[in-house]
Structure 1
């Protein structure tokens, strides 16, 4: 009887998550297939429903996200990087430093626990930051809220800047597609699933923090760029990973967590605005030093999600290859440097709640 009731509750959660995801996609919000399940799980948790996502599902989701990050390191991106590497690396370093400065300020003057501020203010890779944060002792609920608050504000601002200030047109999100992608090429799919499995197993056996994400990311980037494998991520695989990650986070929310989130909302908004302002400095330096046009420089250094910025850049008349190269490499760099930056910020602030989980 208990098993039947639990199955019914899971079926209800899946149904509500699907409805939320469709509504968010219709509203043109980024990462609808992650935010929908997360919001649905929060509603269920507030109603007293006791569900837990199996640990293997969470680590599997981490590994899929690692493959997704690896896929951004394509030969075309690397070609553009080789052509403009000084400007791109300089801008990436600046944005990472600015993110660390904002995280330091939020931790020093704010009220967030442990290294949550450091992970929450990492400039890019929201899903990856959420997938890694808990492994390094951060509050995954607050990290998720901070990351998607930043993306929402950045996307709205980037759209306004593109349209009103710099003369570009705003790209609409592509029409939603709900095809599960069961017709994905078999051999690349098998290669991708093997890479996911390697990440999960190596992360557990090697006891590497967030190894389930980092190992597929690095290994997949090398093998995919060299043409030894072809990573493919059909919608059904991404939906499963995003739903697992969303449920894992959402089911941990409590009324007290929500109250705390609302109390610190002004701090978080101030941090987002500060990070955006600092990134504008990086954009200005690109225009002065490398001769990059203002719109391209602004979108390339914008601390938003890669997919959202790419959509805006596509129809804005800017150098799309430069924007995607800088955003993709920054995503890769932020994931690799995230643990080091978080640990450094904690050490500067004298926090002890930064131990590795």
Structure 2
């Protein structure tokens, strides 16, 4: 997933300068969202704030907001997926475990091979290539990279640039292979629909309490996964109904997008400038390799192209979830494979990366 917010965006800003930065960010987000909605782009409410954050941060802008808002936003996205994904997701994984095993291991192997090759060719310093190429769990890979002698700033740039690139590529694939995009026209959006107060209160409680539980239990990516799992169970047994009005989803999408985009600060871009061609090339190669794995799922298992691509995308699980929910893919299949791969990366990624790093150097 996209990871925790950077330290520079963890407090409320005060004063007129901060207010101007917020105004710029919001206005720019609205303008870009409006254009993307006019173009019928999938996940426009995520990509608009994401691009606005990139533009603002790259031009020296700085916006600060509490970690709690981002965490709750992840909880809201988890509730969204819980409303869409049936409890049979576990049965889907168990019933198609060979397919999931091949898909997950192929993506992990492709990313590890790419990082190892770049390390052997000395295209990037030290073990940076390996840590930067690890798929998913961006925040965890960035933190661990520093402990093993990698350039943590370059690793962070590689990880979050890939999240950005994967989000853009997934939106493009969704546009090419998705459902009729006319259903997502701006005129069809009802920003303030009528809502039931009690289900909305239950949803808000789940979005707030479940991420806190994940933090107490120290579950990686738990701010998104825990409310998703709890929500699926509660909805399946009729214990709650998830209520997510458009304005609430738009706010959650905005904070997730801003958290990614605002990381692309000018100092980070300047530091990464010399390695930019290698980073861009490696990102595109990894996306292409994962696209090849998606092609195998299409040809060998009959999975539709949009679902296959989203399921194998090496980006943040939260951004892929938003795009999947907005574009008409098989959300259950996508989230099942993304979740299995996230767990595989969390458990296998660090020892595998250390093993390859020793041999790459």
TM over 0.5: yes
Q: Distance in 2 between matches of 1:224 and 1:140?
A: 37
Q: Distance in 2 between matches of 1:252 and 1:149?
A: 14
1:51-87 deviation digits (Å, cap 9, x = unpaired): 2221111211222222233333225x659x56x963x
Which one of the candidate residues 106, 118, 141 is aligned to 2:134? 118
SS, match of residue 240 in structure 2: coil
**Contact 2:116 2:357 (8 Å CA) reproduced:** no
Deviation at 1:20, TM superposition (A): 1.1
1:20 aligns with 2:35: no
Deviation at 1:238, TM superposition (A): 1.7
Which one of the candidate residues 255, 265, 269 is aligned to 1:254? 265
Aligned residues: 316
Q: Distance in 2 between matches of 1:350 and 1:338?
A: 16
**Contact 1:115 1:342 (8 Å CA) reproduced:** no
Which one of the candidate residues 196, 200, 211 is aligned to 1:185? 196
Q: Which residue of 2 aligns with 1:91?
A: 99
1:229 aligns with 2:237: no
Deviation at 1:268, TM superposition (A): 1.2
Deviation at 1:307, TM superposition (A): 6.7
Deviation at 1:263, TM superposition (A): 4.1
The gaps in structure 2 that reach 5 residues or longer are 1-12, 119-123, 146-151, 314-319
User: Which stretch has the larger CA shift, 204-213 or 300-309?
Assistant: 300-309
**Contact 1:173 1:311 (8 Å CA) reproduced:** no
**Contact 1:171 1:311 (8 Å CA) reproduced:** no
Q: Which residue of 1 aligns with 2:349?
A: 342
Paired residues for 1:1-357 under 5 Å:
3-74=15-86, 86=95, 88-110=96-118, 111=124, 112=128, 115-119=131-135, 122=136, 142-153=158-169, 156=172, 171-172=180-181, 174=183, 175-176=185-186, 177-258=188-269, 259=273, 260-286=275-301, 292=302, 296=303, 298-302=305-309, 303=312, 305=320, 323-350=330-357
Task: Give the 3 Å change call, closer, same or farther, for CA 189–338 of structure 1 in structure 2.
Answer: farther
Q: Which residue of 1 aligns with 2:121?
A: none
Task: Give the 3 Å change call, closer, same or farther, for CA 141–154 of structure 1 in structure 2.
Answer: same
Task: Give the 3 Å change call, closer, same or farther, for CA 238–53 of structure 1 in structure 2.
Answer: same
Q: Distance in 2 between matches of 1:348 and 1:71?
A: 40
Cα RMSD for the two superposed structures: 3.5
Runs (4 or more) in structure 1 with deviation over 6 Å come to: 130-138, 309-312
